[in-house]
Amino acid sequence: MEKGTEIVNNEEEFKAISLRLKELRKSKGYNNYEHIAFELNMSRSAYWKLESGKNFEIKTLIKVCRLLEITLEDFFSGIQLPKNQK
């Protein structure tokens, strides 16, 4: 697989993760992403990138899950990743 192709193929997965973040944020009462950004001690733009499907570090996801009081297992159980394309 070519290096540039791998990134393009991950866009669907990043989008699924970002949608799950938004869904969980709202279900926990954070109607506005700016409020959760404040609680996470992140800038609004940094948190917005998470919900926009940008790649981010796993430690950031762990921090979000702790604030939302969910496990990583719970987080990923709500995500349907697309099947591998060859």
CA-atom Rg of the chain in angstroms: 14
Residue pointed to by tokens 């669907």:
12
Say what percent of the chain tops pLDDT 90.
Answer: 70
Its pTM stands at 0.80
7-15, long-range: CB < 8 A, 24+ apart: 9/85, 10/55, 11/53, 12/81, 12/82, 13/81, 13/82, 14/53, 14/54, 14/55, 15/53
Among 23-37, 42-56, 68-82, name the one with the lowest average pLDDT: 68-82
**Does domain 3-76 correspond to CATH entry 1.10.260.40?**
yes
DSSP alpha helix (H) spans, the chain: 3-9, 11-27, 33-39, 44-51, 58-68, 72-77
Identity of the amino acid at 62: I
Specify the residue for token string 């917005």.
Answer: 48
Q: Is the pLDDT of residue 6 over 80?
A: no
Could you tell me the residue ranges of all domains in the chain?
Answer: 3-76
- 52 Cβ contact partners less than 8 Å away, ≥ 6 residues apart: 18
